[in-house]
Amino acid sequence: MSNYYQAEVETLPTEELKKIQSEKLVKLVKHVYDNVEYYRKKMDEKGIKPEDVKSVNDLHKLPFLTKADLRDAYPYGLLAKPLTDCVRIQSTSGTTGKRVVVFYTQHDIEIWEQCCARAIMAVGGTKEDVVQVCYGYGLFTGGAGLHGGSHKVGSLTLPMSSGNTERQIQFMMDLGSTIICCTPSYAAYIGETLKEMGYTPDDNKLKAGIFGAEPWTEEMRRDIENSLGIKAYDIYGLTEMCGPGVSFECTEQTGMHINEDFFIPEIIDPDTGEVLPEGSKGELVFTTLDKEAFPLLRYRTRDICVLSRKKCSCGRTFIKMTKPMGRSDDMLIIRGVNVFPSQIETVLLEQGYSPNYRIEVDRANNNDTLDVYVELTSEQFSDTVKDVSIKEKQLAEAVKTMLGIKPNMHLVPPKSIARSEGKAVRVVDKRKLHD
């Protein structure tokens, strides 16, 4: 009775799944050792040979990969296939500084779209559905992933991309969209706009929404469900793995099934790197199994969560992960964009400002706000309000060029940034993102 895209895989008994994972892992480790110098060096440094990895039980022997490795190896250092076999790149949201560029072969696109197709069918999607994709299209993986998944399911796909809310609503009403895919904050915004326009939740044909790319709470889920008259489902992913679809919620709404035939999850202690038993809270680490162009072994996501293989009423046997409960680094996700405070600091220093700043993130009307407070020193101060405003605008633009999102920039007197124990408090996240 459950709705599967690939029932035979999605309901595999765990032992069989482990067998498949082991076979794929052994092959992959040998392939990257033989073909990717970066991996060979890392494995040699740890004294690990491909022969040491005989099954998934040996996974813990392999070295971790971090975002720093991806930057070191930028752009081609981790490529495991000739560039001529690659057909696509996608990139993380930051435009400079911490850029990550990921390559896909035809096969990689195929498995990514399968992941998203599974996610759409897990929420009840079929070829009868009209799927409105209002994730951004472009380098960001949101649009492309759900778009491809929707095609695979055979649904009628509306490639709306993000923004232009009135047009979104017009298409939704006129073409009878039944499934909507976007960030949760954008879904909440569409809900509010519908209400302002005088629509009730019964006026649209939507039945489900697939929301991801940023943290959201159970409270937001209920708000979105009420305002749009739908069931709201979570989807998880990261560009480094493929994009959205690494894991997805089913109708039970109690966590996201990880596509374990493509990705092996582990939970580690972020401080020691030690692998923790199922049910422990820790940092999520992924190993890709099927990716050709950009396979990643033991990639540290920095997301903190818990894994559980408790039997699910939907019949899927894939392990479930909770919504990320936080980060083991200082990355913020603001309007779906990955933001590191250090990126903002880089812009400030480049523009000749002091490194004394405070970043405040909040959420107003279900939309993230980003305020940056920077000390204005005597050297840059020129006495008129107009000049201060111009400087604020220029800085906001410079940050936008770096991050892709524009902050509210505030130049402030030196002593006004709160310090705790003499050290400036750099980041204040006032959002209550985790229940």
Backbone angles phi, psi at 230, to 5 degrees: -135, 180
Site string for other proteins, 323-362 (x = CB under 8 A): ----------------------------------------
- Minimum CB–partner distance for residue 408 and other proteins (Å): 10
- Minimum CB–partner distance for residue 189 and other proteins (Å): 25
Among 384, 421, 422, 423, which residue interacts with other proteins (rule: CB under 8 A)?
A: 384
Between CA 332 and CA 188 the distance in angstroms is 20
**What is the Cα 130 distance to its own chain's centre?**
24
The CA-based diameter of the chain, rounded to the nearest angstrom, is: 72
- Minimum CB–partner distance for residue 373 and other proteins (Å): 9
Q: Which of helix, strand or coil describes residue 18? A: helix
Say how many C-beta atoms besides its own lie within 10 A of residue 416's C-beta. Answer: 12
Q: Which residues of 377-390 are buried (b: 16+ CB within 10 A; e: fewer)?
A: eeebeeeeeeebee
- Minimum CB–partner distance for residue 422 and other proteins (Å): 14
- Minimum CB–partner distance for residue 277 and other proteins (Å): 50
Among 381, 393, 394, 425, which residue interacts with other proteins (rule: CB under 8 A)?
A: 381
Among 1, 196, 202, 415, which residue interacts with other proteins (rule: CB under 8 A)?
A: 415
Closest by CA position to 263, among listed 137, 118, 155: 118
Of the listed pieces 66-74, 228-236, 359-367, 410-418, which binds other proteins according to CB under 8 A?
Answer: 410-418
Of the listed pieces 208-216, 308-316, 360-368, 378-386, which binds other proteins according to CB under 8 A?
Answer: 378-386
> According to the binding rule CB under 8 A, does residue 369 interact with other proteins?
no
Between CA 79 and CA 101 the distance in angstroms is 11
Of the listed pieces 27-35, 246-254, 309-317, 372-380, which binds other proteins according to CB under 8 A?
Answer: 372-380
Among 29, 374, 376, 396, which residue interacts with other proteins (rule: CB under 8 A)?
A: 376
346, two tokens: 């880089």
Between CA 270 and CA 418 the distance in angstroms is 29
- In this structure, which amino acid lies at residue 45? E
Nearest to other proteins of 334, 411 (CB atom): 411
Nearest to other proteins of 86, 374 (CB atom): 374
> According to the binding rule CB under 8 A, does residue 74 interact with other proteins?
no
Helix (H) or strand (E) holding 350: helix 341-350
- Minimum CB–partner distance for residue 360 and other proteins (Å): 13
* Size of residue set near other proteins by CB under 8 A: 19
Among 11, 66, 193, 377, which residue interacts with other proteins (rule: CB under 8 A)?
A: 377
Between CA 301 and CA 264 the distance in angstroms is 13
Of the listed pieces 273-281, 309-317, 394-402, 414-422, which binds other proteins according to CB under 8 A?
Answer: 414-422
> According to the binding rule CB under 8 A, does residue 423 interact with other proteins?
no
Between CA 211 and CA 175 the distance in angstroms is 21
Among 96, 342, 382, 401, which residue interacts with other proteins (rule: CB under 8 A)?
A: 382
Between CA 240 and CA 65 the distance in angstroms is 11
- Minimum CB–partner distance for residue 424 and other proteins (Å): 14
Query: Residue 369: CB partners within 8 Å, gap ≥ 6?
Result: 360, 361, 362, 363, 408
Helix (H) or strand (E) holding 113: helix 106-122
Nearest to other proteins of 180, 411 (CB atom): 411
- Minimum CB–partner distance for residue 387 and other proteins (Å): 9
Pairing state of beta strands 130-133 and 179-182?
A: parallel
Pairing state of beta strands 281-288 and 332-334?
A: unpaired
DSSP state of 290: S
DSSP calls for 245-285: EEEEE-TT-SSEEE-TTTEEEEEE-TTT-PBPPTT-EEEEE
Is 388 within 8 Å of 410 (Cβ atoms)?
A: no
Say how many C-beta atoms besides its own lie within 10 A of residue 84's C-beta. Answer: 6
Nearest to other proteins of 146, 376 (CB atom): 376
Nearest to other proteins of 313, 389 (CB atom): 389
- Minimum CB–partner distance for residue 388 and other proteins (Å): 7
Nearest to other proteins of 114, 356 (CB atom): 356
> According to the binding rule CB under 8 A, does residue 410 interact with other proteins?
yes
> According to the binding rule CB under 8 A, does residue 1 interact with other proteins?
no
The binding site for other proteins (CB under 8 A) comprises 375-378, 381-386, 388-389, 410-416
